[in-house]
Amino acid sequence: MKKRIDGSGLDESSILTDARKTIAPQIEDRSRRSFLMRGLTLGGVAMLSGCNLTDNESVETALSSMSRFNDRVQGWLFNPNALAPTYPESMITRPFPFNAFYSIDEAPTVEEDSYRLEVTGLVADKRSWRLEELRAMAQTEQITRHICVEGWSAIGRWGGVRFSDFLKRVGADTEAKYVGFKCADDYYTSIDMATALHSQTLLTLTYDGAVLPRQYGFPMKLRMPTKLGYKNPKHIQAIFVSNTYSGGYWEDQGYNWFGGS
Ligand SMILES: Nc1nc2c(c(=O)[nH]1)N[C@H]1C(S)=C(S)[C@@H](COP(=O)(O)O)O[C@H]1N2
Ligand SMILES: [Mo]
């Protein structure tokens, strides 16, 4: 039997289930996690979020404010020097899975000749970039694991420009809070500056030693082994540095914004 909250039409157990889902992935310590999960009450949700749970809208607001709270906590806890594991070539997943909010044949086709990467916001040099100019910068490679919240992970080999090198080159304000991305397929996301400057965060131009294929994000994607799959934008057309929160495609539908892996 589902317990109803008197007079409100709200279902207590489903609110608590959602609240647990919102906070559980962020608590690494197992015993602390189960303690918090068991102890979570509607009063606790109201207190943590500063919302009175009177209708569905207030529950939504409470849960999203808890998720934003997690983003802040994770931002503090995040160690910008911690490295994601790397793997030998023999462990690369072949073929590498495709994923997007559409099927593979609908992946956008971007023409290299007319392509220009737009760079805006808190940067000294706002000029656009051609692919050739990015290829002329120092390149690096990584074999890392991509983890998708839909329940799969795969190891791949990506190459390109360290994103921190690129940000320095365009004179980005590295004290700014966010770096945002707009993609050719209407996808968008944004990340915290500490992750943008992480040594494994790669402005990716190649996959497995060849030009990044269309389905994996041509002309360019941002690869971050310290973040879940949905935080890694493919087909990037514009990059902006900002102090204003701009969310993301899945993040605006309830996925956690920090999205660490
Ligand atoms: N532009 C764009 N980037 C995207 C997505 C998308 O739909 N469009 N999906 C994300 C998700 S959920 C995943 S798991 C990875 C999949 O990348 P892959 O096709 O290289 O495996 O891309 C991420 N970046
Ligand atoms: Mo994903």
What is the residue with the minimal CA distance to atom 20 of ligand 1? 216
Ligand 1: does its nearest atom lie under 6 Å from the Cβ of 101? Answer: yes
pLDDT tier at 224, thresholds 50, 70, 90: very high
Ligand 1: does its nearest atom lie under 6 Å from the Cβ of 204? Answer: no
**Tens digits of per-residue pLDDT, 138-149?**
999 999 999 998
- Average pLDDT over every residue of 167-178: 98
Statement: residue 34 has pLDDT above 90: no
Q: What is the pLDDT of residue 62?
A: 82
In the chain, where the domains are located = 12-77, 89-253
The pTM assigned to this predicted structure is 0.79
What is the residue with the minimal CA distance to atom 1 of ligand 1? 234
Q: At what angle do helices 56-77 and 12-23 cross, to 10 degrees?
A: 20
**Tens digits of per-residue pLDDT, 11-29?**
888 888 888 877 766 666 6
- The torsion angles phi and psi of 126, rounded to 5 degrees, stand at -95, 15
pLDDT tier at 213, thresholds 50, 70, 90: very high
What is the residue with the minimal CA distance to atom 15 of ligand 1? 229
Site to substitute for ligand 1 among 205, 234, 261, most atoms within 8 A of C-beta: 234
Which contiguous run of DSSP H or E holds residue 12?
Answer: helix 12-23
Superfamily of domain 89-253: Oxidoreductase, molybdopterin-binding domain (3.90.420.10)
**What is the rounded CA–CA span in Å between residue 53 and residue 166?**
46
- Residue 230 CA to ligand 1 centre (angstroms): 6
What is the residue with the minimal CA distance to atom 9 of ligand 1? 100
- Burial environment of residue 212 by CB neighbours within 10 A (0 to 12, 13 to 18, 19 or more): buried
**What is the rounded CA–CA span in Å between residue 29 and residue 101?**
33
Ligand 1: does its nearest atom lie under 6 Å from the Cβ of 229? Answer: yes
- Residue 100 CA to ligand 2 centre (angstroms): 7
**Tens digits of per-residue pLDDT, 41-74?**
888 778 777 788 888 888 888 888 878 877 777 7
- Residue 174 CA to ligand 2 centre (angstroms): 27
